[in-house]
Structure 1
Amino acid sequence: MDFRHFSKCICSATLVVSAGAAMADTNVTLYGVVDVFGQYLNNGGTHSFSERSGGSTGSLFGFKGNEDLGGGLKANFVLENGFNVNNGTAFADTTAMFYRQAWVGLSHDDYGSVSFGRQYQPSFRVIYPTDPFRANEILSPLAAAVLAIDRNTLATQYAAGRTSNSIVYQSPNLRGVQFGAMYGFAATVTQPLPSTTGNMLDLGLSYSGYGFYAGLAYQNQHAGVETFPGLPARLNLLATEHFIGALAYRLGIVNFQFNYSYNRPKDAPAGSVAALLGAGHSHSIAELGATIQATPADVVEIAAFERNVRGAHDNTPGIQIGYDHNLSKRTSLYARAGYMKNNGSATMSWPGVAVTEPDASQTLVVVGMTHRF
């Protein structure tokens, strides 16, 4: 008998039994999304075709669970990984096992919840309901505007949506009103670029009722540093404030949506890399759109957007439309078509797409499939 094989079988059986016991005690759920799409891109006159992942919903798998501690108190956790289904690699950061979420906390029906780990920012939860493309990290024009890389805003920090080393309080729903507060401690990563971010405060307040939604958010990021390709020294990331407003109103089958954010960095220290490059400009992002529930199985999305860099005359207007058709509760097909035009030295693009040159346009058309489990 091969004792190595036998020992592996015993270990596997033990893990299965242990997992079963854990599930019985804590109600653990395994869930996930597999999303793939084909893409056509006209990037400043350069045409390309490719296969990518996560165009409607990021491909992911995760574990979540809770334990009832009695008296309305529960223990909760979420561990959520991101990956690229087209090639099997980890999404965004290959060094992170659970890039999307990793947190544990306590919640109470009457007092809200407090959680610790890598989590969504309250400001993200405020703006999320007002983006027709659900703040998707690959094809949402809002995500494209937030993550845009251009010289004039290179040192202006962006609201990434998630924060590591964080503590979050989320209030209960009080007649439609919810409040969230986060404090994140400094964090260092090596991907997608080596960087260290400072401490961060994030606050969000929202109301939802009678078909109406409104939200306000504020984020204050302390200074940090980043190693950026092509620069002779590390770039100093400026302390940055973010002011966010979000509105939505549902009228019949149409949900009208609007969001606006203003991102204001502190002045760059004299002689710093950010000051020498002039890379610390303020900028705003505006998006107006609608989500239309055409039939129980068909949804149409449309958004017009603009990213505007202050003091540099750089801006990027654009438009995007989408269509989703549900084949079942778990499987759907989707299509997206978008256009954006960079003016001045702006170099905004959809995430994962490098701009060929400033002052050029981009056209994107995709068809994809999403399956949830």
Structure 2
Amino acid sequence: MKKSLLVLAALGAFAGAASAQSSVTLFGIVDVNARYTKNGDLKVKSLSTDGLNSSRLGFRGVEDLGGGLKAGFWLETSFGADSGSGGTTSGNSTNSTNRFWHRRSTVSLLGNFGEIRAGRELTATYTGFADYDVMGTNGVGDVGHFNNPTTVGATLVDTATRADNMVSYYTPALGGLYARASVAAGEGTTGKKHIAGRIGYAAGPLDVSGSYGTTEANATEDKYKKGNIGASYDFGVVKVLGFVSQAKFLDAKQNVIDVGVSVPVGPSTFRVGYVRVDAKGTIGATNIDANDANQFAIGYQYDLSKRTALYSTYAQIKNKGAAAFTVATPPAAVAGQKSQGFEAGIRHSF
């Protein structure tokens, strides 16, 4: 009897130790706003979502395997908080059709060597500019409005934001240096075979990085190419950030310059951003040199707590030539016309 009790006690202690070595976290964001959008002469008033952050729901966990080795997973989906719809493509949740965990679904091994991560997640060429956008790549002031391969004729590319079937290696902390290399399998589908990398330095108030990637964009395996150089510096009273980016496919290219400042004042944060878009070359027989645009955005955030914030943003895009960028849709885009929008909302994270 005593032996049985000892065995049960030992098993209970072992189970307790095993469970203490792993953890699972439920997390999410709910973001809803009232929005007014005007594209050309078309106007829409709406209750929308994802003005400050993309609404999402996710699970992540880590298991300690011992010897400095850990296993991890991350499952994350998005939803339209304004309507309760699942699998929304608003915000920066692109190429999400027929995927449930379309924001991220990865499994990882972590150790002193860094991290090996497999599955679906953001690409290095996306984070290489998004990390330096003062508006946070969300809402009417999102610089992601200009991250569309179709503007240079690469209509089949499916890796502008995230990539499926990707394996990435992340270096450990190396005195401020960091790097990532990624390969995504095309699996016989045009627009999905992707190779990219990013290298940077982050220490104290400074963060600077460069990233570059290619995607096979058509049946003849011509490459869609994207490169970025970005930097930010936090002076305390003001943070300055920005990037330069180029997307290229065949004879067309698009250059983007983004600069912004963020000023914290107590629980408030003021943001101002400017984006310049310059198109060059041809798509087939069509010259796109005139298809330029400028975006100006100003935003305000008031933190009610660490998890809850009120916000408002105004943004305006001036399109030239046949450019048809919008701060939001609906209404439909109008080529060569101004697009502007205002939103005010609340964001809660958990």
Is TM (by shorter chain) over 0.5? yes
**1:162 aligned residue:** 162
**1:192 aligned residue:** none
Q: SS of the residue aligned with 2:126?
A: helix
Q: Which amino acid aligns with 1:107?
A: L
CA drift of 1:80 comes to 0.2
Aligned pairs, how many? 321
1:359 is aligned to 2:308: no
- CA 127–196 in structure 1, closer or farther in 2 if over 3 Å, else same: same
**2:81 aligned residue:** 85
Q: SS of the residue aligned with 2:128?
A: helix
Give per-residue Cα distances to partners, 1:78-131, cap 9 Å, x unaligned.
0001100111112123521101000001001x2100011001222333323311
**1:184 aligned residue:** 184
Gaps of 5+ in 2: 1-15, 90-95, 282-287
CA drift of 1:257 comes to 0.8
1:118 is aligned to 2:120: yes
CA drift of 1:337 comes to 0.2
- CA 241–121 in structure 1, closer or farther in 2 if over 3 Å, else same: same
Give per-residue Cα distances to partners, 1:124-168, cap 9 Å, x unaligned.
3332331111222x4343111113865x64548475221110001
**1:8 aligned residue:** none
1:213 is aligned to 2:207: yes
**2:260 aligned residue:** 289
Checking the alignment, whether the CA contact within 8 Å between 2:134 and 2:242 is kept in structure 1 is: no
Checking the alignment, whether the CA contact within 8 Å between 1:146 and 1:158 is kept in structure 2 is: no
Partner Cα separation in structure 2 for residue 299 and residue 163 of structure 1: 32
Checking the alignment, whether the CA contact within 8 Å between 1:155 and 1:237 is kept in structure 2 is: no
1:315 is aligned to 2:292: yes
**2:312 aligned residue:** 335
Give per-residue Cα distances to partners, 1:17-59, cap 9 Å, x unaligned.
xxx9997563000000011111011210222200111111111
1:301 is aligned to 2:280: no
**2:8 aligned residue:** none
1:252 to 213, 236, 251: 236
1:223 is aligned to 2:226: no
Checking the alignment, whether the CA contact within 8 Å between 2:156 and 2:191 is kept in structure 1 is: no
Q: Which amino acid aligns with 2:63?
A: E
2:136 to 107, 117, 134: 134
Query: Structure 2 length as normaliser, TM-score?
Result: 0.85
Partner Cα separation in structure 2 for residue 96 and residue 22 of structure 1: 33
Checking the alignment, whether the CA contact within 8 Å between 1:156 and 1:237 is kept in structure 2 is: no
**2:33 aligned residue:** 37
Partner Cα separation in structure 1 for residue 329 and residue 187 of structure 2: 23
Give per-residue Cα distances to partners, 1:179-204, cap 9 Å, x unaligned.
0000001168xxxxxx8423110100
- CA 181–352 in structure 1, closer or farther in 2 if over 3 Å, else same: farther
**1:275 aligned residue:** none
**2:53 aligned residue:** 57
**1:147 aligned residue:** 148
**1:204 aligned residue:** 198
Partner Cα separation in structure 2 for residue 286 and residue 240 of structure 1: 19
Checking the alignment, whether the CA contact within 8 Å between 1:331 and 1:369 is kept in structure 2 is: yes
Q: In angstroms, what is the RMSD of aligned CA positions?
A: 2.4
Q: Which amino acid aligns with 2:148?
A: L
Identity of aligned residues (%): 25
**2:326 aligned residue:** 349
- CA 256–249 in structure 1, closer or farther in 2 if over 3 Å, else same: same
Query: Structure 1 length as normaliser, TM-score?
Result: 0.80
Checking the alignment, whether the CA contact within 8 Å between 1:126 and 1:205 is kept in structure 2 is: no
**2:106 aligned residue:** 103
CA drift of 1:249 comes to 1.4
2:42 to 41, 46, 54: 46
Checking the alignment, whether the CA contact within 8 Å between 2:157 and 2:216 is kept in structure 1 is: no
